[in-house]
Structure 1
Amino acid sequence: MRGLGLARGGEELSILCLGAHSDDIEIGAGGMILSLIASGVKLHVFWCVLSAGDQRSAEARASAEAFLEGSCSSTVEVADFEDSCFPAHSRSIKQRLLDVRSRTRPDVVLTHAKFDAHQDHREVNQLTWNVFRDHLVLEYEIPKWDGDLCQPNAYMPLTADLLERKIGLLHEHFGSQRSKDWFDRETFVGLARLRGMECRAPEHFAEAFTVRKVKIL
């Protein structure tokens, strides 16, 4: 399988990470972030979580800082839009994303998948495409009981060590999620193994994304 690299070691890359909730970015793309940092890419990251209460806001900030340790520069912002009600707050969320766009120049935008069953995730996806029309957008996936995983077409291979680091950070920073029956090592390893098989990753693990539009240079 032929690869299209985002950046090589020593090169700079600007990434905008968008997540509806405090653990979304880490679950969907935490491995990618860790892998890019480990490869020596000089990351400039704007990390934006759109919904978090008091406890989850603290979790979101601490987790983002842990995942981004070693990056060139980073900004972490946490908004307080009402969980599970994003469609009702679409206008305000769009204004927030327009404000983010005015302050960033990302090479890549990470966001939720189009067919995610969670209404907040779908709203973020729709607004991402509405606001960031001229950007490379990678849609990440989040396993859940809805059974809404789609057929991805882009993969980030992960080493076994980086996958274990991702899982370790998830469990370290998101105590509010540990009671959920899907939030466990087996789920994260199983999905990463499946995606690793699909792309024939060297160490058998990967994160998967959907790319709906890309410019070939």
Structure 2
Amino acid sequence: MRQLPLARRGERLSVLCLGAHSDDIEIGAGGTILRLIADGVLVDIHWCVLSAPGIRADEANASAIAFLQGAAVTNIELAEFEDSYFPSQSREIKQWLSAVRERVSPDVIFTHARDDAHQDHREVNRLTTNVFRDHLVLEYEIPKWDGDLMQHNTYMPLPSTIMDRKTELLLEHFGTQRSKDWFDELTFKGLARLRGMECRAEERFAEAFTNRKLALTIG
């Protein structure tokens, strides 16, 4: 499988992470963020959670700080759009994302998948690709009881130490979610093991993404 480096050690990389809810970015792309930092990439991260009210805001902020430890530059933004009703708030969310675009010009954007079963996730994807039209967008996945896992075309292999750290941080920072029967180590590591199999990851684990458009250059 041909491998294209997202960034090399010592290079600066601007990243925009978008999540509908407080734990979405960590579940979908947390391992990739941890690996970029651990591998010595100078990551400038703008981390945006669109629905983080009350205690969920405390969880989101503490988790983001933990996941971003060692990043070159970090900026965490939390909004309070109403959970489960993103389609009806589309205009306001688009305005919010347009304001983010005025402050950051990322090399890569991590956002939700186009065909995710959750309506909030789909709306974030739709607005991401509408507002950020000339960017590399990688769509991450969120496991859930709906069973909407899909085929992907882009992978980030994860060392086992990174996978362990991702799981540890998720379970540590999102106490409000631990009552859900799917929110556990087996789910996170099981999915990553399957994605690692698909890309033949050296240490067995990977996160998977979908890329809709990519321009290639030579030299």
Structure 2: tracts of 5 or more residues without a match: none
Is residue 35 of structure 2 the alignment partner of residue 41 of structure 1?
A: no
**Corresponding position of 1:89:** 89
Shift of 1:52: 1.1
Shift >4 Å, 4+ stretches: none
Distance in 2, matches of 1:195 and 1:183, equals 18
Distance in 1, matches of 2:73 and 2:6, equals 17
Shift of 1:85: 0.3
Identity of aligned residues (%): 69
Shift of 1:71: 0.3
Distance in 1, matches of 2:88 and 2:56, equals 21
- SS of the equivalent of 2:151 reads coil
Distance in 2, matches of 1:103 and 1:209, equals 25
**Corresponding position of 1:12:** 12
**Corresponding position of 1:160:** 160
- SS of the equivalent of 2:21 reads coil
- SS of the equivalent of 2:48 reads strand
- SS of the equivalent of 2:51 reads coil
Shift of 1:143: 0.3
Question: Residue by residue, what CA displacement relative to the aligned partner does 1:28-87 show, whole Å, maximum 9, x if unpaired?
Answer: 000000000010000000000000111000000000000000000000000000000000
Matches within 5 A, 1:166-181: 166-181=166-181
Structure 1: tracts of 5 or more residues without a match: none
Matches within 5 A, 1:118-157: 118-157=118-157
- SS of the equivalent of 2:109 reads strand
Distance in 1, matches of 2:209 and 2:5, equals 14
Q: CA RMSD in A?
A: 0.4
Distance in 1, matches of 2:163 and 2:19, equals 20
**Corresponding position of 2:59:** 59
Distance in 2, matches of 1:189 and 1:19, equals 20
Q: How many residue pairs end up in the alignment? A: 217
* 2:127 alignment partner AA: L
**Corresponding position of 2:22:** 22
- SS of the equivalent of 1:186 reads helix
* 1:65 alignment partner AA: I
* 1:52 alignment partner AA: A
Distance in 1, matches of 2:73 and 2:129, equals 25
Distance in 1, matches of 2:125 and 2:194, equals 24
Scaled by the length of structure 2, the TM-score of the pair is 0.99
**Corresponding position of 1:2:** 2
Matches within 5 A, 1:95-106: 95-106=95-106
Shift of 1:16: 0.2
